[in-house]
Amino acid sequence: MMQERGTAMWKLLGGSLLLLLAMAMLASNESSVMTYRTAAARHGGVVVDATRSGPTAANDSDMVRVAGTPRVVKPAVDKQFGIRADVPILWRVTEMFQWREIDYGGSASYELQWVDHPVNSNIFRERARHENPSALPFGGARYLAGEVRLGGFTLSPAIVAAMPGRTDYAPDFGTLRPNMAASFRVVNDTLMTSEDPNSPQLGDLRVSWRSAPLQEVTVIARNRDGVLVPAEGVEDNPGFELQVGQREVMDLQPDMPPQPWLPWLWRVLSLVVATVGAYVLLHGMSPSRRGAPLAALGVGVALTSGLGGVMWVTERTDLGGVLLGIAVLALGVTAWQMYERSSPA
């Protein structure tokens, strides 16, 4: 009799420890998942890799990571000059040869330089001999490509505008508008109004172009029907991430905690440990009890679902409510099943 009591006590202790272990495993797993989701929400949500799959119904509205070299479908166009470029961004740089006042130890000197904005000569100390034109006939400008695609996705204008890099661009002047061709001459991939490009005069113009190069990039943004757009309601960044090269999520979002490893596996393991613990506990309470395996499974489901529901109900009310409902149902079915089996035939 004493030996049987000792065995039962060990079973009760072992079963209780297994139940506590299952709860600790599940609590740690769900805490990691919740922490990760909370951090991801600051960037628009959990990121799904879509480099290979491209846009699908499954990742629509998700934050997706896409890497590769963009492809320009509709070029950037400077309509004023008739310049077209298969680049994400095209900049026009307009400069005028103007006087600049330079202060050397309290004395002013003057130099003619190419400047991309009007220089106000009215504030010069020696204005009479260094008068600049009042304005440029036209300024610089930025033009975005009409359509840029990356990995099957179309990039929204906000993301195209953020393309990194700026290099000199050599336009095809064969498409230059006739009025501009009559006013300018081509000099080393630029347009100039100077009679002698090596000796520009005050008021001469020089127009050149720059471009954002086509290079491998990684983008994290929201997929909206195949279009990558900035996430809404994000406070700490523009709603998307963009870097040159192949980058992982942690490279673009360094404040993110590590992604939980196989959370569903840990949930299943927690259920298994809880079920085994419940079985050992029930067997210690009543070794001859019929239906102990099914009852143990019910207790395991109720315990894991109940704990998960309590943890998730403040984060996701719908999920927490469902889990708590499953826990109540499992307890009810288990209690009814144990009552039926314990009743005399």
The half-sphere exposure of 288 on its side-chain side, counting CA atoms within 13 A, is 2
Residues 212, 218, 222, 223, CA torsion sign: positive
pLDDT of res. 340: 66
Distance between CA atoms of residues 335 and 340, nearest Å = 9
- Per cent of the chain over pLDDT 70 is 92
Q: Pick 204 or 345 by higher pLDDT.
A: 204
pLDDT, mean of residues 124-135:
91
How many other C-beta atoms lie within 10 A of the C-beta of residue 177? Answer: 14
Interval 77-116: pLDDT, tens: 999 999 999 999 999 999 999 999 998 877 899 999 999 9
Note the pLDDT of residue 231: 93
Q: In this predicted structure, what is the pLDDT of residue 341?
A: 61
Amino acid at 91: W
Mean of per-residue pLDDT scores for the chain: 90
173 pLDDT tier (thresholds 50, 70, 90): very high
Q: Report, as an integer, the average pLDDT of 290-316.
A: 85
Q: Which residue has the higher pLDDT, 306 or 286?
A: 306
Q: What is the pLDDT of residue 286?
A: 61
Residue bearing tokens 């700026």: 166
Which class for 283: exposed (0-12), middle (13-18), buried (19 or more C-beta within 10 A)? Answer: buried
Per the DSSP assignment, residues forming a β-bridge with 242 are 219
The SS3 call for residue 17 is: helix
| Lowest pLDDT segment from 167-171, 213-217, 323-327 | 323-327
Q: Report the distance separating Cα 206 and Cα 121, nearest Å.
A: 20
| Residue 14 confidence class, pLDDT cut points 50, 70, 90 | confident
pLDDT of 155-164, one tens digit each? 999 999 999 9
What three-state secondary structure class fits 71?
strand
Q: Hey, is 21 helix, strand or coil?
A: helix
Backbone angles phi, psi at 105, to 5 degrees: 60, 35
